[in-house]
Amino acid sequence: MISLPDSDSEDELPPGWEERATDDGKVCYVNQQGKTSQWTHPRTGRSKRITGELPLGWEKYYDEQGKRFMFLNKETQQRTNVDPRLAFAVEEPTQNVAQVRQRFDSCSTALQVLHGKDLHGRTALITGANCGIGFETARSLAQHGCEIIFACRNRTSTEAAIERIAQERPAARSRCRFAALDLSSLRSVQRFVNEIKQTVSHIDYLILNAGVFALPHTKTEDGLETTFQVSHLSHFYLTLQLETLFDYKTRIVVLSSESHRFANLPVENLAVHHLSPPPEKYWSMMAYNNAKLCNVLFAQELAQRWKQRGISVFSLHPGNMVSTDLSRNYWFYRLLFAIVRPFTKSLQQAAATSIYCATANELTGLSGLYFNNCFFCEPSKLSKGTSLQQQLWQLSENLISELLEEEQH
């Protein structure tokens, strides 16, 4: 329990704290000394929101040089990044998921979710953004003004993807860029993070989209089974290494799957061989199920650990049997996907839930939820076990530390 200095006013902020407002009007409280943030007042424990139009004589504009929204008092020419309506913020009821009304469903598209949104000044980092759901996610955000970092392995296919976006919206070309990331290599993740930190000061949306499916048993350069490292471990490492670029305006979106319900990880004594099995105990479908469970476990634990920073973390299922490049690794799955394609989601529909989790105003202040068809639902009982969440986190940290230490010797 934090001890706060006495004050005559219950609403007065303690020393070192300040108020900020999000674009959708939610008030966030930032502790400059502790570098933490939260959605509730540090004294009252209540949340606030700004409402209504700007005061007479004020206007809001986007500062291209500073890459942020500013407020101008046209009479005095005063410029500030603090919303003048903060002085009139009003308390609002405690936000909980039961108050969220369903606005979209399985038929909704990513562009429908984004209708009317202006994302200029926002930055999204998307893994696997050069094809499939990742491409549709990047394309939709870019069309609404968002800057996109395509975190991909293949430069040629990524540049072709960016060109496709530019053909539709020429202005989007300057907002899209390639950054080399090979999720089968922890060293590649390190190089990627160093590059991003030199060029980016803040990430609004981290969308962990990349994954593999139906692979034969293969090992990465780090000696781990590929499905596990690409789908979970490298994303885990990437997220923690980028931590300094996140704040209360950041949302982290982890693509999982309903397949996580069929995983067979043990509740106790989780070990590396459960996550990265040897060839004789490997089945590609179970490897995928377990990796998708790891995605939900990671998102749940991360949401809890970063709760006080105001960072929202969500995991999701994009859609049933979506036609993506994931099926390219095995002829049987390619055939199956071709047969069921008329009954499945389009890629635009599949990207809708990722876009919703990243941008929906009504999710501000919420975290640790699992979504399907643009609405929250209960994940598996196994994924909600705090013990397993913590075991996976600790095992992942230890594994990364050991692998990187081995490479130094």
For the chain, the domains span 17-92, 99-407
Q: Does domain 99-407 have CATH number 3.40.50.720?
A: yes
pLDDT at residue 39, as a whole number: 87
> Dihedral of CA 180/186/189/194: which sign?
negative
- β-strand partners of 208: 254
**pLDDT for the residue numbered 210:** 97
Residue among 353, 377, 364, 368 at smallest CA distance from 114? 353
What are residue 330's phi and psi, to 5 degrees?
-150, 130
Which residues in 10-122 belong to E strands, given as ranges? 17-21, 27-31, 36-38, 47-49, 58-63, 68-73, 78-80, 90-92
Q: Confirm if 326 and 288 have CB atoms less than 8 A apart.
A: no
Length of the chain, please? Answer: 409
State phi, psi for 53 to the nearest 5 degrees: -80, 165
105 token code pair: 């469903």
Question: Comparing C-alpha atoms, which of 314, 313, 307, 303 is closest to residue 389?
Answer: 303
Tokens of 408: 């130094």
Backbone angles phi, psi at 213, to 5 degrees: -145, 140
342 CB-contact burial (10 Å; exposed 0-12 / middle 13-18 / buried 19+): exposed
Q: What is the pLDDT along the chain (409 residues), one digit of tens a residue?
A: 344 444 445 678 899 999 998 877 889 999 988 888 888 888 877 788 888 889 999 999 988 888 888 999 999 999 998 899 998 888 776 567 888 889 999 999 999 999 999 999 999 999 999 999 999 999 999 999 999 999 999 999 999 999 999 999 999 999 999 999 999 999 999 999 999 999 999 999 999 999 999 899 999 999 999 999 999 999 999 999 999 999 999 999 999 999 999 999 999 999 999 999 999 999 999 999 999 999 999 999 999 999 888 899 999 999 875 555 544 545 555 554 444 444 578 999 999 999 999 999 889 889 999 999 999 999 999 999 999 999 999 999 999 999 999 877 6
- For the chain, report the end-to-end CA distance as a whole number of angstroms: 44
Contact present, 13 and 5 (Cβ < 8 Å):
no
Residues annotated as catalytic are 288
What distance in Å separates the CA atoms of residue 405 and residue 408, rounded to the nearest whole number?
5
Burial 263-298 (b: 16+ CB within 10 A, else e): bebeeeebeeebbbbeeeebebebbbbbbbbbbbbb
- Residue 8 confidence (pLDDT): 47
